[in-house]
Structure 1
Amino acid sequence: MQHDDTLMAMEFAGLSVYETWMHYCNVGGGIDYFEFDAYLHGVLGLDAVDADVVSQAVNELIDDVVPAEESRGKRAPYSGTGCPVPALADRGDDGPVHAPSMSPGIPLPPGATLELLGEILDGGVLNRSVAGGRA
Protein backbone atom coordinates (compact mmCIF):
# COMPACT_ATOMS: atom_id res chain seq x y z
CA MET A 1 0.00 0.00 0.00
CA GLN A 2 1.07 3.58 -0.62
CA HIS A 3 1.49 4.49 3.05
CA ASP A 4 3.74 1.47 3.72
CA ASP A 5 6.03 2.26 0.81
CA THR A 6 6.09 5.93 1.79
CA LEU A 7 7.14 5.06 5.35
CA MET A 8 9.82 2.67 4.03
CA ALA A 9 11.18 5.44 1.77
CA MET A 10 11.33 7.79 4.76
CA GLU A 11 13.16 5.19 6.85
CA PHE A 12 15.61 4.54 3.98
CA ALA A 13 16.47 8.25 3.83
CA GLY A 14 16.58 8.69 7.62
CA LEU A 15 13.66 11.12 7.66
CA SER A 16 11.69 11.57 10.85
CA VAL A 17 7.92 11.74 10.79
CA TYR A 18 8.03 15.23 12.28
CA GLU A 19 10.48 16.78 9.83
CA THR A 20 8.58 15.18 6.96
CA TRP A 21 5.29 16.52 8.31
CA MET A 22 6.83 20.01 8.51
CA HIS A 23 7.83 19.81 4.86
CA TYR A 24 4.39 18.42 3.98
CA CYS A 25 2.83 21.52 5.58
CA ASN A 26 5.20 23.74 3.60
CA VAL A 27 4.10 22.19 0.29
CA GLY A 28 0.46 22.81 1.19
CA GLY A 29 -0.62 19.71 3.06
CA GLY A 30 -3.51 20.22 5.41
CA ILE A 31 -3.60 17.36 7.90
CA ASP A 32 -2.20 17.70 11.38
CA TYR A 33 0.82 15.86 12.75
CA PHE A 34 -1.13 13.05 14.40
CA GLU A 35 -3.21 12.38 11.28
CA PHE A 36 0.01 12.39 9.23
CA ASP A 37 1.61 9.85 11.58
CA ALA A 38 -1.56 7.74 11.63
CA TYR A 39 -1.63 7.66 7.82
CA LEU A 40 2.00 6.52 7.60
CA HIS A 41 1.30 3.68 10.03
CA GLY A 42 -1.90 2.57 8.31
CA VAL A 43 -4.31 3.75 11.01
CA LEU A 44 -5.88 6.53 8.93
CA GLY A 45 -6.68 6.48 5.23
CA LEU A 46 -6.26 9.50 2.98
CA ASP A 47 -7.81 10.22 -0.37
CA ALA A 48 -5.49 9.90 -3.38
CA VAL A 49 -4.80 13.64 -3.60
CA ASP A 50 -3.73 13.97 0.04
CA ALA A 51 -1.67 10.76 -0.11
CA ASP A 52 0.11 12.12 -3.18
CA VAL A 53 0.96 15.35 -1.36
CA VAL A 54 2.56 13.23 1.38
CA SER A 55 4.53 11.29 -1.26
CA GLN A 56 5.63 14.50 -2.93
CA ALA A 57 6.92 15.92 0.37
CA VAL A 58 8.83 12.70 1.10
CA ASN A 59 10.35 12.56 -2.37
CA GLU A 60 11.47 16.19 -2.21
CA LEU A 61 13.26 15.53 1.08
CA ILE A 62 14.81 12.36 -0.34
CA ASP A 63 16.12 14.44 -3.26
CA ASP A 64 17.74 16.77 -0.71
CA VAL A 65 19.50 14.12 1.36
CA VAL A 66 20.20 11.06 -0.81
CA PRO A 67 22.33 10.97 -3.96
CA ALA A 68 20.16 10.28 -7.03
CA GLU A 69 21.91 7.01 -7.87
CA GLU A 70 21.19 5.68 -4.35
CA SER A 71 17.54 6.72 -4.26
CA ARG A 72 16.39 4.87 -7.39
CA GLY A 73 13.56 2.56 -6.45
CA LYS A 74 13.47 3.89 -2.89
CA ARG A 75 11.01 6.72 -3.28
CA ALA A 76 7.47 7.25 -2.08
CA PRO A 77 4.94 6.05 -4.66
CA TYR A 78 2.04 8.04 -6.07
CA SER A 79 -1.53 6.83 -6.25
CA GLY A 80 -1.61 6.76 -10.02
CA THR A 81 -3.98 9.70 -10.32
CA GLY A 82 -1.75 11.10 -13.03
CA CYS A 83 -0.62 14.23 -11.18
CA PRO A 84 2.29 13.91 -8.72
CA VAL A 85 1.76 17.44 -7.39
CA PRO A 86 -1.93 18.24 -7.05
CA ALA A 87 -2.84 21.88 -7.55
CA LEU A 88 -4.06 22.93 -4.13
CA ALA A 89 -6.01 25.80 -5.62
CA ASP A 90 -8.13 23.26 -7.46
CA ARG A 91 -8.96 21.58 -4.15
CA GLY A 92 -10.25 24.76 -2.56
CA ASP A 93 -7.70 24.65 0.29
CA ASP A 94 -6.90 27.81 2.19
CA GLY A 95 -3.26 26.79 2.58
CA PRO A 96 -1.26 24.76 5.06
CA VAL A 97 -2.50 24.09 8.55
CA HIS A 98 0.14 24.31 11.25
CA ALA A 99 0.04 22.98 14.76
CA PRO A 100 0.54 25.40 17.63
CA SER A 101 4.14 26.49 17.84
CA MET A 102 6.26 26.15 20.96
CA SER A 103 9.15 27.98 19.34
CA PRO A 104 8.90 31.05 17.10
CA GLY A 105 8.69 30.08 13.44
CA ILE A 106 8.85 26.30 13.95
CA PRO A 107 5.55 24.42 14.22
CA LEU A 108 5.44 21.57 16.72
CA PRO A 109 2.79 18.90 17.09
CA PRO A 110 0.42 19.41 20.02
CA GLY A 111 1.95 18.21 23.27
CA ALA A 112 5.48 18.02 21.84
CA THR A 113 8.35 19.00 24.07
CA LEU A 114 11.17 21.34 23.20
CA GLU A 115 13.46 18.29 23.38
CA LEU A 116 11.78 17.04 20.20
CA LEU A 117 12.73 20.28 18.49
CA GLY A 118 16.33 19.78 19.64
CA GLU A 119 16.37 16.24 18.21
CA ILE A 120 15.07 17.48 14.89
CA LEU A 121 17.58 20.30 14.67
CA ASP A 122 20.41 17.97 15.70
CA GLY A 123 19.32 15.40 13.08
CA GLY A 124 20.94 17.40 10.30
CA VAL A 125 18.32 16.98 7.58
CA LEU A 126 16.98 20.49 8.04
CA ASN A 127 20.51 21.88 7.91
CA ARG A 128 21.24 19.96 4.70
CA SER A 129 18.05 21.09 3.02
CA VAL A 130 18.63 24.74 4.05
CA ALA A 131 22.19 24.52 2.74
CA GLY A 132 20.77 23.21 -0.55
CA GLY A 133 22.72 20.02 -0.68
CA ARG A 134 23.92 16.91 0.96
CA ALA A 135 26.09 16.80 4.04
Structure 2
Amino acid sequence: MSHDDSDEALRALITDVMKQGHISTHGLWVYYFSIGGDLDELEVDAYLHGLMPLPVLDEDLLAVAVAEMYADT
Protein backbone atom coordinates (compact mmCIF):
# COMPACT_ATOMS: atom_id res chain seq x y z
CA MET A 1 0.00 0.00 0.00
CA SER A 2 1.45 3.35 -0.99
CA HIS A 3 1.49 6.42 1.24
CA ASP A 4 -1.27 7.95 -0.89
CA ASP A 5 -3.39 4.81 -0.49
CA SER A 6 -2.95 4.82 3.28
CA ASP A 7 -3.82 8.54 3.41
CA GLU A 8 -7.00 7.86 1.46
CA ALA A 9 -7.86 4.88 3.68
CA LEU A 10 -7.48 7.00 6.82
CA ARG A 11 -9.56 9.82 5.33
CA ALA A 12 -12.29 7.34 4.41
CA LEU A 13 -12.21 5.84 7.90
CA ILE A 14 -12.48 9.28 9.53
CA THR A 15 -15.45 10.26 7.36
CA ASP A 16 -17.17 6.90 7.97
CA VAL A 17 -16.81 7.28 11.74
CA MET A 18 -18.11 10.83 11.49
CA LYS A 19 -21.24 9.57 9.68
CA GLN A 20 -21.79 6.71 12.13
CA GLY A 21 -21.32 8.97 15.14
CA HIS A 22 -23.26 11.93 13.66
CA ILE A 23 -20.16 14.10 14.10
CA SER A 24 -20.18 17.38 12.21
CA THR A 25 -17.15 18.83 10.47
CA HIS A 26 -17.34 21.84 12.77
CA GLY A 27 -17.53 19.66 15.86
CA LEU A 28 -14.59 17.56 14.72
CA TRP A 29 -12.56 20.66 13.92
CA VAL A 30 -13.24 22.19 17.36
CA TYR A 31 -12.14 18.99 19.09
CA TYR A 32 -9.10 18.62 16.81
CA PHE A 33 -8.11 22.23 17.52
CA SER A 34 -8.56 21.73 21.26
CA ILE A 35 -6.06 18.84 21.27
CA GLY A 36 -3.37 20.77 19.45
CA GLY A 37 -4.35 20.90 15.79
CA ASP A 38 -3.54 24.17 14.07
CA LEU A 39 -5.27 23.95 10.70
CA ASP A 40 -8.36 26.04 10.10
CA GLU A 41 -11.79 24.56 9.61
CA LEU A 42 -11.74 25.12 5.84
CA GLU A 43 -8.54 23.08 5.49
CA VAL A 44 -10.02 20.23 7.54
CA ASP A 45 -13.19 20.34 5.45
CA ALA A 46 -11.17 20.23 2.22
CA TYR A 47 -9.24 17.22 3.53
CA LEU A 48 -12.44 15.41 4.50
CA HIS A 49 -13.74 15.91 0.96
CA GLY A 50 -10.51 14.58 -0.55
CA LEU A 51 -9.47 17.95 -1.96
CA MET A 52 -6.12 18.30 -0.20
CA PRO A 53 -3.68 16.16 1.75
CA LEU A 54 -2.70 16.92 5.33
CA PRO A 55 0.57 16.53 7.16
CA VAL A 56 0.77 13.18 8.97
CA LEU A 57 0.53 14.81 12.41
CA ASP A 58 -2.73 16.54 11.50
CA GLU A 59 -4.18 13.35 10.03
CA ASP A 60 -3.28 11.56 13.25
CA LEU A 61 -4.83 14.30 15.39
CA LEU A 62 -8.04 14.13 13.35
CA ALA A 63 -8.12 10.36 13.79
CA VAL A 64 -7.65 10.72 17.55
CA ALA A 65 -10.31 13.43 17.73
CA VAL A 66 -12.93 11.46 15.81
CA ALA A 67 -12.19 8.27 17.80
CA GLU A 68 -12.57 10.08 21.12
CA MET A 69 -15.72 11.84 19.98
CA TYR A 70 -17.19 8.57 18.71
CA ALA A 71 -16.39 6.85 22.00
CA ASP A 72 -18.40 9.54 23.79
CA THR A 73 -21.53 8.92 21.69
TM-score range, shorter chain: 0.7 to 0.9
Greater RCO (Cα-Cα under 8 Å, separation 6 or more): 2
How far did residue 62 of structure 1 move?
Answer: 0.6
What is the TM-score normalised by the length of structure 1? 0.47
Identify unmatched segments of 5+ residues in structure 1.
66-135
Q: How far apart, in 2, do the equivalents of 1:64 and 1:48 lie?
A: 25
Q: Where in structure 2 are the equivalents of 1:88-103 lying within 5 Å? A: none
What is the TM-score normalised by the length of structure 2? 0.84
Structure 1 residue 27 corresponds to structure 2 residue 35 = yes
Identify unmatched segments of 5+ residues in structure 2.
1-8
| Corresponding residue for residue 56 of structure 2 | 48
After superposition, the C-alpha distances for 1:41-92 in whole angstroms (9 at most, x for unaligned) are: 1101012211000000101101111xxxxxxxxxxxxxxxxxxxxxxxxxxx
| Corresponding residue for residue 11 of structure 1 | 19
User: Aligned residue pairs: how many?
Assistant: 65
Higher Cα Rg, which structure = 1
Q: How far apart, in 1, do the equivalents of 2:37 and 2:50 lie?
A: 18
Q: How far apart, in 2, do the equivalents of 1:58 and 1:21 lie?
A: 9
Give the 4+ runs in structure 1 shifted more than 3 A: none
State the secondary structure of the residue aligned to 1:56. Answer: helix
Pairwise CA RMSD: 0.7
Q: How far apart, in 1, do the equivalents of 2:27 and 2:55 lie?
A: 22
More helix by share: 2
Q: How far apart, in 2, do the equivalents of 1:34 and 1:49 lie?
A: 17
Q: How far apart, in 1, do the equivalents of 2:37 and 2:55 lie?
A: 12
State the secondary structure of the residue aligned to 2:72. Answer: helix
Percent sequence identity over matched residues? 32
Q: How far apart, in 1, do the equivalents of 2:53 and 2:33 lie?
A: 18
Q: Could you tell me whether the CA contact under 8 Å between 1:10 and 1:16 is conserved in 2?
A: yes
